[in-house]
Structure 1
């Protein structure tokens, strides 16, 4: 955080109440994104908020939008309050502003962090034009249980992939200059282990080992901070009995003292209030004291800090030095983005009205969407489709526009959304044979719907079956016990498949699903997630071969919901499963201990072949570099982009190690017949983990290493990490 002399000058002049005011984050009722239908209520709410700003009792406002009214808020703060401290204007801008990009989980399927950096940069341009300084993103939670709905907001089940996307999104949101009008402050969240809630149930408790916390859930946060993030948001959950928003060991001990984080820690919505419901605090005053002393700088929406911090400071229960330190961090954050020099930065109505960016952002949205699509299966080379084929587009998502966005999209321009039907029609020649039938609703049958779908399937050469989750099934507070299609959609799939017409499943989803019956057995399956503004065009690009799908799964697709939590990088057991599924091994009675489609899996329209993994030396010196290489060839007739993945396994260690761990990945384009040698460099630091004694580092010994197309493919080579000299 840069040092600004004005911060100390302000601190010296602030009253106790003004200091506490800087630590409050409240709903922006001056320019709410969803205003009350009663105009009088809007006027009253706006007046109350402006009065609080005038009194110096607001540090930040959130989830409002609009440059003109933003200028009004800032004018009151700067010209009518005693000290003239500007207000931070924040919002939940997660995966797009006016232009909506794929949900973060879908974008992670691209295995292209630079793509995420570009979409975050475009998002920042649009958000700052609409009067927003600060976004509560990216979500960097590692989600290993697909029942948890908020996995849609993160990058999947792997910490290395998650760290790469966390850093990229921070760079994209913030840009190269924090003081620029188009720089959007990033906030990695939710600190920490929110993705580890028990049974995948939202807001549930977390029981977790120190090693798993440090090796799996913390690395994406570390990467985000190293990329320049100056704010962190706490999680709702407890961690081994201590709520994250009052966890001094993490907020102060780890974040500040070990990692040296000098930025701001902000609560999630009323998380400090929830310390009471947790049974961790006796009342509001106790919750305030515990959260603040743990290291929580800013309280969102509860009002607890405003009500109780002054009294706690006056009584001596909270040292004034601690209060000053938190206020200093908030003021320094405002200084860092240039608010003291230009309180009206990012509040230009002319810039907000300028829509010249639309063509470029729509092109980027289309690119991001098609790069996020994962082809799970393509029997007989059914895809890409001929444009002169007789096509039946069937399913509740065929012409739907209400479920384009995915979760946590507050400000999208719905007038620009492209449905599947619209995108496919635009890709077909005039007079092409495309019949569109809904067949059923998302959860309810339609009278005569299945019969109409079956009739259309019989008239067609191929069925595009557009099924999946409505967007309300994923996101916050949307945990599921059965991660399957709604029964009515499954019934539609069974009826259509029974016609014998080849089926291409267009699966829309915010998590990995347990595919069943006719959906699982379809000739081709495309995972299309929630792709955003350009959904229809992007899907059509892939269907007709204008783009060869290049996405790979950032989460494992299980065989059955009952396998959850399931993740590829699970520890070895003392009784590993054998191929013949013998008893008294680590397996279920009904299913092997394996995914239906593993992490990293995905196909293109090329035919990719891998040569054996080779190491340049049988040993890796303690401070050395080991080359790991394999030849990769496209023997097919279509160009393809392949995600080449590097995995390792530590064969003997002081703690049981995962069966495989992703350590690096690279996406490359291969023309038909092209062969390249892919070389990764492996270092000791990549083999480090939290050891049995709690220290972090690698241990000498034998390792397996794979260069492979997924976490379940390939044969390993072996090397030995030598001890230090």
Structure 2
């Protein structure tokens, strides 16, 4: 179910307090005291009573300690503040959680120290397990391209099994930020541009990480990030400000977060950015009014790395004392590597600026998760050496990774059915990434210090029995063309050329924004040189974001977007190139023709002067030099076979709000290969106040069809699919005409009908 389909306000529910919560004035940072009461619905009263008893024993310093998280020095994922003795701080009860800690031996050492503290409160161990732990899966954006929720959930489930076996309690994933700007490096970590698809993937990942529930030794706490609107950073520049209307926030950016909360996510992480002038870590509107009050979230909120102290750099707080005051009142429970709480919170209580009730509420939320994990019963339950040995890198996990990797690739072009390749043909493997191993894992993968291996394209093709020759041609960021001659010579000896180009893994990810998202260096010139040989050319693009490669797109006969696919990358690519697997991926983000079109997305609002897609017309909304069309649209992706859509039917032409309409149609595989198709349902509210997008994804189904096979597909349209936020942030419907689009992509609509919503 779409996360924002439940009405926010009943028809006659007009209490002033509720209205206030959804007006711009709600951004003001009031410091109302947090109220404590009997255990809320859904909480375990036994645990709540234990927490109450423990709180009564704790000193203010011990309470502050539970809200304090430090990083170990073994893994660096941010600017560590090296001051004090962390081991002694743990023994003194001044640290509640450590991140960048993994391995049963290492976690046991730290937990031993915690057991020397006065109250023996166990530590929480966290790590960025973003797309796999020991077994590295495709980057999240690649997995989103699979549109396969079962595969995405399995990826998170395996990551949780491996991580929990290695002593880890908590992963800082999933990232559910909606992203419309490929210049932003962290698009690789999310699910793309659409709130409906993003919400479905958010649910799948939370369920995968947390399994059958916290307390099971194969589950880790999910941490939904970054709350909120981090993906809308101005200019696509990481950590930058975000400026948007509240309706835009609720309509597009909050749905995946709400879906994750409804799926039972244990924790949330706030974001580095300010939202309309208020840093997220100081936003009571986001953390308390929406998350904890409106959505009833019972977990805890952790800051992003140092984001509380960074309020000083924002110019929002004059010092960390004031920043800590702002954050704790806003609902930011735990301070990650900020030292703002550790250095100031006890003094804020002593000075009467922060009530003990507010501190207790934050500590209660942290302790609740430690109890739910079972750490008070057995602090070492996740530190079992034999289980770690038996779990990591199982063959079944490796096989699953290969399958998810195959499903994540997107076939962008296949002129004259060049693919799949004939194994009897000699293949020239050319390009800077043919023999790349480390890059196959992508950004945010766990470093195994030389003990890990990712299958390269070269190795995968050889293992598939290909007859291969190789030339590098150039490096990814080269300005030199010195290797072109050898590459051309190698191509001339082959029947077909497969080229591996794109980005290195460190060119996308956190703090990896790029103003120029064309293929780096002279890679496209290398492609031109090889294409000029007259040999059939297949280009594989390995990247963490949508790139611009117009010449290649227009001239090369076959293109596969492989992203970064993880440990089994080379084998998975070979499976696709030789037809062992028929590609089924669809783009979760729009690919622009030019960076000048960015931000670009499919569900835009029309204007009073819309331009035609294919040409510029005077006094219309377009460009003089290019069309407004993207290079590849959201939802786009080809197959080795063809699918025919027909026989669209609506169960009725008029619908009342309490009713439903069933949309049904037939898909037939008219080609010679078995294949999977992702059928997509889009809706358009033809006339609306305020205006609605030109189309919105409201359903999708992935189905396998054998050659010649037909299947009937159906979607149900109910009131929730037709609802939206008005300018007062009320969740409403309006009577009128709705257009139904069924297609293979947002710009490849095969069937269309309309119906009327009656008042």
For this structure pair, what is the TM-score category when the shorter chain's length is used for normalisation?
Answer: over 0.9
Question: Residues of 2 paired with 1:542 and 1:603: CA distance?
Answer: 12
Question: Shift of the alpha carbon at 1:632?
Answer: 1.0
1:108/1:554 contact within 8 Å kept: yes
- Residues 282-321 of structure 1 show CA distances to partners (whole Å, capped at 9, x for unaligned) of 1110111011111100001111101100010111100111
- 2:368 aligned with 1:324, yes or no? no
Structure 1 position 143 matched with structure 2 position 179 = yes
Q: Does 1:73 align with 2:99?
A: no
Q: CA deviation at 1:612?
A: 5.3
Choose from 571, 589, 598 the match for 1:555. 589
Distance 1:481 1:583 in 2: 29
Q: Which residue, 258, 262, 281 being the options, matches 2:317? A: 281
In the other structure, the counterpart of 1:49 is 86
2:61 corresponding residue in structure 1: 17
**What secondary structure does 1:662 align onto?**
strand
For 1:610, the equivalent position in structure 2 comes to: 645
Structure 2 residue matching 1:69: 3-state secondary structure: helix
Aligned residue runs from structure 1 range 71-110, under 5 A: 71-78=108-115, 80-110=116-146
Paired residue for 2:32?
Answer: none
Deviation at 1:355, TM superposition (A): 4.8
SS in 2 for 1:440: coil
SS at match of 2:469: strand
* Equivalent position of 1:39 in the other structure: none
Residue 716 of structure 1 is matched in structure 2 by: 752
1:378 aligns with 2:420: no
* 1:641/1:668 contact within 8 Å kept: yes
For residues 182-201 of structure 1, what are the alpha-carbon distances to aligned partners after superposition, in whole Å with 9 as ceiling and x for unaligned? 11000010000000011111
Question: 2:155 matched to which residue of 1?
Answer: 119
Query: Is 1:677 paired with 2:712?
Result: yes
Q: Distance in 1 between matches of 2:307 and 2:75?
A: 22
Assess if the C-alpha contact under 8 Å between 1:65 and 1:132 holds in 2.
yes
The count of corresponding residues between Structure 1 and Structure 2 is 710
Q: Secondary structure at the match of 2:375?
A: coil
What secondary structure does 1:7 align onto? helix
Residues 2 and 332 of structure 1 are in contact (CA less than 8 Å); yes or no, is this contact kept in structure 2?
A: no
1:265-344 maps to which residues of 2 (within 5 A)? 265-344=301-380
Equivalent-residue separation in structure 2 for 1:186 and 1:709 (angstroms): 33
Match of 1:8 among 34, 41, 52: 52
Distance (Å, rounded) in 1 between the aligned partners of 2:76 and 2:65: 25
Classify the secondary structure of the residue corresponding to 1:415: coil
Say which is worse superposed, 323-332 or 604-613, in terms of deviation: 604-613
Residue in 1 that maps onto 2:26: none
Shift of 1:28: 2.2
Q: Secondary structure at the match of 1:261?
A: coil
* Aligned counterpart, 1:231: 267
Task: Say if 1:483 and 1:561, in contact at 8 Å, map to a contact too.
Answer: yes
Instruction: Say which of 240, 243, 251 aligns to 2:287.
Output: 251
2:18 counterpart residue number: none
TM-score, structure 2 normalization: 0.91
Q: Is 2:93 the partner of 1:59?
A: no
* Distance in structure 2 (CA, Å) of the matches to 1:88 and 1:574: 54
- 2:11 alignment partner in structure 1: none
Deviation at 1:406, TM superposition (A): 1.1
Quick one: distance in 2 between partners of 1:411 and 1:272?
Answer: 28
Contact 2:492 2:533 in 1 (8 A): yes
- 1:633 is displaced (CA, Å) by 1.0
Partner of 2:735: 700
Q: For residue 516 of structure 1, report the CA deviation from its aligned partner.
A: 2.2
Shift of 1:353: 2.1
CA distance in 1 between counterparts of 2:545 and 2:451 reads 23
Correspondence for 1:451 among 480, 485, 490: 485
- Give the Cα–Cα distance (whole angstroms) in 1 for the partners of residues 609 and 442 of structure 2: 41
TM-score (norm 1): 0.96
Deviation of 1:416 (Å): 2.6
Q: What CA RMSD, in Å, does the superposition of the two structures yield over aligned residues?
A: 1.7
Residue 2 of structure 1 contacts residue 336 of structure 1 at CA under 8 Å; is this kept in 2?
no
| Other structure's SS at 1:354 match | helix
CA 1:489/1:447 → structure 2, altered by over 3 Å: closer, same or farther? closer
Q: Which whole-Å CA distance do the structure 2 matches of 1:686 and 1:66 have between them?
A: 45
3-state SS of paired residue (1:628): strand
Alignment gaps of 5+ in structure 1: 36-41
Q: Choose the corresponding residue for 2:602, options 552, 568, 592.
A: 568
Report the Cα distance in structure 2 between the residues aligned to 1:589 and 1:25, rounded to whole angstroms. Answer: 53
Instruction: Give the conservation status (yes or no) of the 8 Å contact 2:135–2:392.
Output: no
Q: Which residue of 2 aligns with 1:488?
A: 522
1:532 Cα deviation after fit: 0.4
**How far apart, in 2, do the equivalents of 1:447 and 1:708 lie?**
43
Contact 1:156 1:555 in 2 (8 A): yes
Structure 2 unpaired stretches of 5+: 1-42
Query: Contact between 2:524 and 2:549, CA under 8 Å: does it hold in 1?
Result: no
CA–CA separation in structure 1 for the residues paired with 2:718 and 2:149: 21
Instruction: Give the whole-Å Cα distance in 2 for the aligned partners of 1:346 and 1:86.
Output: 12
Report the equivalent of 2:540.
Answer: 506
**Cα deviation digits, residues 325-359 of structure 1 (max 9, x gap):** 10111101111111111111111112122257520
The answer as to whether partners of 2:438 and 2:454 remain within 8 angstroms in 1 is no
The match for 1:26 is 70
Helix, strand or coil at the partner of 1:597:
coil
The Cα of 1:211 is off from its aligned counterpart by 1.1
1:424 aligns with 2:461: yes
